[in-house]
Amino acid sequence: MGFFESLKKGLGKTKDGFFSQIHNLFSSFVKVDEELLENLEEILICADIGYETTEEIIDKLRAVIKDERISETEDAYTALKAILRDMIGVCEPLKLDTVPSVILVIGVNGVGKTTSIAKIANLLKSEGKKVVLAAADTFRAAAIDQLTVWAQRVGVDIIKQSEGADPASVVFDAINSAKSKKADVLIVDTAGRLHNKKNLMDELAKINRVIERELPDACRETLLVLDATTGQNAINQAVEFKNTASITGLILTKLDGTAKGGIVFSIKKTLDIPVRFIGVGEKTEDLQPFDSVAFVDALFD
């Protein structure tokens, strides 16, 4: 199965849910009028796109319809696609130009953080990069064990200590290992405990100080993992994490498990942080670099 077909399949619930409603809506109207826009607005809000984002989409579409004197629903439909593409924007690839570069991965438990790390490691390895994982989520023994299993499965090195160890100490050891092995990328797993934001903030700050001290010139990415099935709650989590970390990109998981993939547009509007990867299945290759054009085309196709 090709990339585009795989993406379409993974977005099936969203495509068959509200995007089929959009298609049916435009097909049922003979001409473009205010009633069509009002119906479209209702569909978008119900798709977890959010009220403010929906208002922006409708306002832009209304302006295009007026400026270009659009009267045919097919032309309005095409204009809507273009607006949605522009709203997400072009996502630049991860900046991993130094040896090693560092990817810090954050997110609450249960969002698919560990599996996302493994899938990114596998993707980078397939590109010929040497990867080292750091099991710095020492709050749970299960997190260390799970990451170890994935490291073995993907075929990359992992640096770990016992449960309860200082996460910054694990990162220090992992940096030394990455240096000695001339690894291209160090990926750091971290604990996600929003119920105690001060501990989380202190822990991330300490890890960042170690990275800054030991790898002052390294390229660094901080990726936040969010579960798409949780809808607006995912955005609330992102806002909390944004207050404690300099997030450079988002990983949106479990898009195959929800009919509300419209959250991608709401996230971009609310946070102005690029989506770097999307998860559309359980397989290792089902975490894909985010492409806004392919994403919108897969939904509308």
Instruction: State which amino acid sits at residue 164.
Output: G
- Residue 224 has φ and ψ, to the nearest 5°, of -100, 125
d(CA 227, CA 297): 22
Q: Is the pLDDT of residue 196 over 70?
A: no
- Rounded to an integer, the average pLDDT of 126-136 is 96
| Chain segment 230-271, per-residue pLDDT in tens | 877 888 888 888 877 889 999 988 877 766 677 788 887 788
- CB neighbours of 6 closer than 8 A, spacing ≥ 6? 280, 281, 285, 286, 288
- Rounded to an integer, the average pLDDT of 1-13 is 66
Assign 193 a pLDDT band (cuts: 50, 70, 90): low
* Residue 296 domain-assigned (yes or no): no
Percent of the chain with pLDDT over 70: 94
- Rounded to an integer, the average pLDDT of 182-208 is 83
* Residue 229 domain-assigned (yes or no): yes
Q: Same domain for 68 and 211?
A: no
* Residue 96 domain-assigned (yes or no): no
Per-residue pLDDT at 199: 76
Assign 139 a pLDDT band (cuts: 50, 70, 90): confident
Residue 279 or 37, more confident: 37
Residue after which a domain boundary falls, among 63, 88, 113: 88
| Chain segment 39-74, per-residue pLDDT in tens | 999 888 877 777 888 899 999 999 999 999 999 999
Per-residue pLDDT at 21: 86
Instruction: State which amino acid sits at residue 288.
Output: Q
Per-residue pLDDT at 194: 59
Assign 185 a pLDDT band (cuts: 50, 70, 90): very high
- Rounded to an integer, the average pLDDT of 24-30 is 90
Q: Same domain for 72 and 205?
A: no
d(CA 243, CA 107): 13
Q: Same domain for 183 and 280?
A: yes
Residue after which a domain boundary falls, among 88, 116, 144: 88
Q: Same domain for 119 and 262?
A: yes
Domain count, the chain: 2
Per-residue pLDDT at 258: 66
Q: Same domain for 161 and 246?
A: yes
CATH code of residue 118:
3.40.50.300
| Chain segment 201-215, per-residue pLDDT in tens | 788 889 999 999 999
Q: Same domain for 12 and 108?
A: no
Q: Same domain for 269 and 135?
A: yes
Q: Which of 31-45, 105-119, 143-157, 238-252 has the lowest mean pLDDT?
A: 238-252
State which residues form the domain around 183: 101-290
Contact predicate 274/89, CB 8 Å: yes
* Residue 295 domain-assigned (yes or no): no
Q: Same domain for 56 and 115?
A: no
Average pLDDT of the chain to the nearest whole number: 87
Q: Same domain for 249 and 168?
A: yes
